[in-house]
Structure 1
């Protein structure tokens, strides 16, 4: 009976590290467009930013293109997410002046203009970018 189980134990030990590697989450900068509300001067957009790149970001900034409901580009702005602690989610709000929330049809991430931190490659934020949107507005690359 021992001869039968020994090969299975060896096989299980050989497979287990491979399964653990497959299950490990990929490093990411996750941006979720969480809410859009009328603000004092325009549309207030709220984002959740989660840094799982492995190290803190001293600064992250994202250039976005805002499209009107008819598909035309309304404007391009840079949102500075500032420092993002590794493994933590941060809530950020930005006021888009002179813009009605219901006039926004799409928000496109045009570029990552800053991705800075110890041990973080300049391309890590874009390479690991994950986007989500709770409002009914297309948001992503």
Structure 2
């Protein structure tokens, strides 16, 4: 029994080390991070505020994402494009989009369906989608 507990101890140690190592490696990999930072009702419309960061070594000169907004019942409320514009390398940017006629309280989820456009000198073709990191500081779930 003593031999088994020693092997189990080694396996648990390896299991604990490997995920941490992979996470640290992933944190350093080039990526784009999009955070839904705020959702505010504005004159019968809904304003979505995003914090976006380009984690690549080169500037992204144009980043346009296809987004799908779902209502609280899970039905598609709107399919649209969000043009985040120029994203300088390593610098955060805030972008806001107003969805006319949409009640913020009626929204349940936001899906980033993919990148419609991702351009920049020295930027890989898949720079806006590979390693995409999504987060929400609101009640709206963000998926990709």
- Displacement of 1:23: 8.3
2:126 aligned to which of 119, 123, 126: 123
TM-score (norm. length: structure 1): 0.82
1:33 aligned to which of 26, 33, 36: 36
Structure 2 residue 123 is the aligned partner of structure 1 residue 136: no
Rg larger in 1 or in 2?
Answer: 1
1:93 aligned to which of 81, 88, 96: 96
Residue ranges of structure 2 left out of the alignment (5+ in a row): 1-20
1:93-124 per-position Cα deviation (integer Å, ceiling 9, x unaligned): 00001101110000001111111001112211
| Cα 1:24–1:38 shift into 2, 3 Å | closer
- Counting only pairs closer than 5 Å after superposition, residues 1-141 of structure 1 correspond to structure 2 as 22=25, 25-141=28-144
How many aligned positions are there? Answer: 122
Partner-residue secondary structure (3-state), 1:109: strand
1:46-94 per-position Cα deviation (integer Å, ceiling 9, x unaligned): 0000001111010001110000001100110000000011000001100
| Cα 1:121–1:67 shift into 2, 3 Å | same
Aligned equivalents of 2:116, 2:26: Cα separation in 1: 31
- Displacement of 1:41: 4.2
C-alpha RMSD of matched pairs (Å): 1.7
Structure 1 runs, 4 residues or longer, greater than 2 Å off = 21-24
Residue ranges of structure 1 left out of the alignment (5+ in a row): 1-18
Q: Is the 8 A contact 1:51 1:88 kept in 2?
A: yes
TM-score (norm. length: structure 2): 0.80
Q: Is the 8 A contact 1:62 1:79 kept in 2?
A: yes
Partner-residue secondary structure (3-state), 1:102: helix
